[in-house]
């Protein structure tokens, strides 16, 4: 499958003088032919001409719609080989980025109300294996008081 890249340029606004071009249409065709041939020398294939709208400023606060005549060209892009990476699309205008900062250290989080290791050892309250009673038996689940 072929991949293409495209180029869009404005169509010529005026014709060019030439020896054989007598009418305005002839002069315009000379200018258009020159533009098509210039792009073809760089490997671009002519696709079509489009007329597209563009909203532009008019005066201090107004806006108006202007139509532009555009020429669309394309050329085949070579598929990346296994050793090369595909070119990533780049923004038309580079985004302003703030300077990179070093990451801030994580603040100390408050400790939960967990018993300290020294609180778990109860003197004289051990099992046969030498573990304390608190370690040997899990705490009883909390339940709501029953109402009689």
Residues with Cβ < 8 Å from 147, sequence gap 6 or more? none
* Helix H or strand E segment including 36: helix 24-41
- Other beta carbons within 10 angstroms of residue 40's beta carbon come to 13
Q: What's residue 43's pLDDT?
A: 93
* pTM confidence score: 0.51
- Among candidates 33, 43, 32, 37, which has minimal Cα distance to 10? 32
How confident is the chain (148 residues) per 10-residue block, as mean pLDDT?
A: 89 89 91 94 95 91 93 87 58 58 71 61 52 59 67
CA distance 49 to 32: 11
Write the secondary structure of 78-143 as one string of H (helix), E (strand) and C (coil).
Answer: CCCCCCCCCCCCCCCCCCCCCCCCCCCCCCCCCCCCCCCHHHHCCCCCECCCCCEHHHHCCCCCCC
For the chain, the first-to-last Cα distance in angstroms comes to 80
């Amino acid at each position: 499958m072929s991949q293409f890249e495209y180029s869009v340029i404005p169509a010529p606004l005026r014709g060019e003088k030439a020896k054989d071009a007598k009418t305005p249409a002839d002069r315009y065709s000379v200018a258009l032919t020159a533009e098509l041939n210039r792009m073809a020398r760089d490997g671009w294939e002519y696709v079509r001409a489009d007329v597209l709208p563009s909203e532009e400023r008019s005066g201090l606060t107004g806006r108006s719609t202007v139509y532009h005549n555009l020429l669309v060209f394309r050329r085949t892009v070579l598929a990346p080989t296994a050793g090369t990476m595909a070119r990533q699309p780049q923004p038309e205008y580079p985004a302003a980025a703030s300077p990179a900062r070093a990451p801030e250290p994580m603040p100390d989080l408050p400790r939960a109300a967990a018993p300290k290791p020294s609180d778990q050892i109860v003197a004289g309250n051990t099992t046969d294996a030498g573990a304390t009673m608190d370690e040997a038996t899990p705490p009883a689940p909390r339940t709501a008081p029953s109402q009689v």
